[in-house]
Structure 1
Amino acid sequence: MSPAPTAALTRPREVERLVAGQPTSDGAGVRLQRVLTQDLQRRLDPFLMLDHFGSENPDDYVAGFPDHPHRGFETVTYMLHGRIRHRDSAGHEGLVSDGGVQWMTAGRGVIHSELPEQREGRMAGFQLWLNLPAKDKLCPPAYQDVQGPDVPTFEHQGATVRVIAGQSHGVAGAVQRPVTEPLYLDVHLPAGGVFEQPLPATHNAFVYVYEGALAWSNGCRVPAGRMAVLANTAGSDGVRLQAGDAPTRALLVAGQPLGEPIAQYGPFVMNTEAELVQAVRDFQAGRLA
């Protein structure tokens, strides 16, 4: 796919801070790195969490994520390697493998599972949580999967860019959202390669490097396994990613902040404590979809 020409950036964003992932386990014992944690939710609004999982040891992933509830946000599972099946209480089911995306809108509530369909080999990918605006938190649950070959991809000055959500250089992503306007790119750069992405100054943004390293013009280096929170500088017009001396792969994620209160209790994300209490009661009473 050929991208539309885009003017060069004049004031790209700098790195505000670097964040290291925290080793943890979730589901039935899946080992992962939690990169975007609860203490960054307001700074990176509308994003609530980012997990990076990856292992060739089946003991680290084979039990997967059995049935568990969600309410009030969206989950985005992006697979780099391996096969994972989604099932939920609203009747949705899907299987994706290398390069595929599962996008679930929990809305008013759903119970779902994400289970590997492999017992050997490498399993690797990411799960991103995207908040829903207050007006949509009790919307009907929804689900879509996008197989790897169907994720829009383009080449630009040596970079290969997969557009999971939003739009880049005139290429529309697999998913669009009108309120939070998420941009979710998987950018592959050759050694020394550069990719520029226009971005509104109002959007919160971060970059997560999962292979290689990125270098900024001010000397900041972002190695693999680190998230760079990008500064919201007045007048900034986008993000410039430049690889170091090795091929580099990174996620670029940005979105329009909601500016609403965030109240979270485990798998429920609402706006008030009272709404959380109601979510737990509805779950206990079997009133989720």
Structure 2
Amino acid sequence: MSIRPTLETRAAMETLEGAGVKLHRAFGFHKPSELDPFLLFDDFRNDSPEDFQKGFPWHPHRGIETITYVLSGSVEHADSLGNQGKLGAGDVQWMTAGSGILHQEMPQGNMSGQMHGFQLWANLPRDLKMTTPRYQDVEAKEIPEIIDDDGTAVRVVVGEFWGKRGPVDGIAADPQYLDIWIPPGVKKTLPVDTYRRAFAYIFEGSAAFADASAPTGVLLEKEVGGEEVNIRDMSGNRTLVRFGTGDEITVQAGEEGVRFLLISGAPIQEPVAWHGPIVMNTGEELQQAFRELRNGTFIKPAH
């Protein structure tokens, strides 16, 4: 077994998207090979409705899949194929844009006016860029949760983990998408397939991730839950952790525990031509997509 080194930790950057939604972007719109097959990751979390209620009005997608995971509040959605629905707390939607779709997503706060969710973009390989669009809407109750003896809890959204399989299937990137809670002071080693690119995104509490060159993962200076850790090495809220190669990660939870997404997928390793919500392989394919948007032939008949 080999521990994946931590290549980088960085804070998600505040930005505006849609019709003025305030969110934090962990990565996106540069270096598409960095976390191939994943292109973009947004954390939309707000306590004030004015920061999100204008939402993401009608816009196109082609050549990608979008994964929306709602933690609190809800998201109403509709598309050019006639689909419409509402994602509530704990629900997931995996949308394969394929050959092209127009859709909108309108967040709504919970009873206290709060909204929190994530959106991840995954690239499609060349032979699936123009596949027929489809949706998979998954309710929270369908997502298996595993509780380990030490209190670690894992929701398996996609992929297989500790003998449980998530309900979303048929995804081109064959990803693993896990929502993990580790209690205060607990140190945990988690498997990750060797051949996948992987990242973690911390959104509650703090943690240190062990490095291959230092199996403890930290310089020992302060005791937390019976083990010494260097608090300066702790990564906290809205932090992206990008891993190198290996087949496991080791996490030391901080004093308040840690909750994070652990996401991995098989790299596509193809050329990327990307502008806004459309991702193709060549500049000509990208230009064609925008020509079709202008002349009304963007949406293709099902095949």
TM-score normalised according to structure 2 size:
0.88
Per the alignment, do residues 188 and 116 of structure 1 end up closer, same or farther by CA in structure 2, a change over 3 Å counting?
Answer: same
One of 126, 145, 148 as aligned partner of 2:140: 148
Q: Is the 8 A contact 1:179 1:256 kept in 2?
A: no
Tell me the residue number matched to 2:16: 25
One of 31, 46, 52 as aligned partner of 1:61: 52
Tell me the residue number matched to 1:78: 69
**Aligned equivalents of 2:275, 2:252: Cα separation in 1:** 38
One of 30, 35, 44 as aligned partner of 1:39: 30
Q: Is the 8 A contact 1:96 1:148 kept in 2?
A: no
**Aligned equivalents of 2:251, 2:175: Cα separation in 1:** 18
Q: Deviations over 1:53-92 (max 9, x none)?
A: 1111011011111100000000001001001111110122
Tell me the residue number matched to 2:217: 218
Per the alignment, do residues 226 and 117 of structure 1 end up closer, same or farther by CA in structure 2, a change over 3 Å counting?
Answer: closer
- Post-superposition offset of 1:35: 0.5
3-state SS of the aligned residue for 1:245?
A: strand
Please tell me whether residue 250 in structure 1 is matched to residue 260 in structure 2: yes
Please tell me whether residue 16 in structure 1 is matched to residue 7 in structure 2: yes
One of 90, 97, 111 as aligned partner of 1:106: 97
- Post-superposition offset of 1:199: 1.9
Tell me the residue number matched to 1:240: 250
**Aligned equivalents of 2:45, 2:204: Cα separation in 1:** 12
Aligned residues: 277
Structure 1: state its 5+ residue gaps. 1-9
- Post-superposition offset of 1:179: 4.1
Q: Aligned runs of 1:148-187 on 2, under 5 Å? A: 148-157=140-149, 158-177=151-170, 179-187=172-180
**Aligned equivalents of 2:34, 2:41: Cα separation in 1:** 14
**Aligned equivalents of 1:283, 1:241: Cα separation in 2:** 46
3-state SS of the aligned residue for 1:243?
A: strand
- Post-superposition offset of 1:241: 2.5
TM-score normalised according to structure 1 size:
0.92
Q: Which amino acid aligns with 2:148?
A: H
Q: Which has the larger radius of gyration?
A: 2
**Aligned equivalents of 1:284, 1:262: Cα separation in 2:** 22
Please tell me whether residue 203 in structure 1 is matched to residue 202 in structure 2: no
Moved more, 238-247 or 69-78: 238-247
Q: Deviations over 1:97-131 (max 9, x none)?
A: 11111111100000000012448611001000011
Structure 2: state its 5+ residue gaps. 210-215, 219-232
**Aligned equivalents of 1:117, 1:58: Cα separation in 2:** 8
Moved more, 156-165 or 257-266: 156-165
- Post-superposition offset of 1:138: 0.2
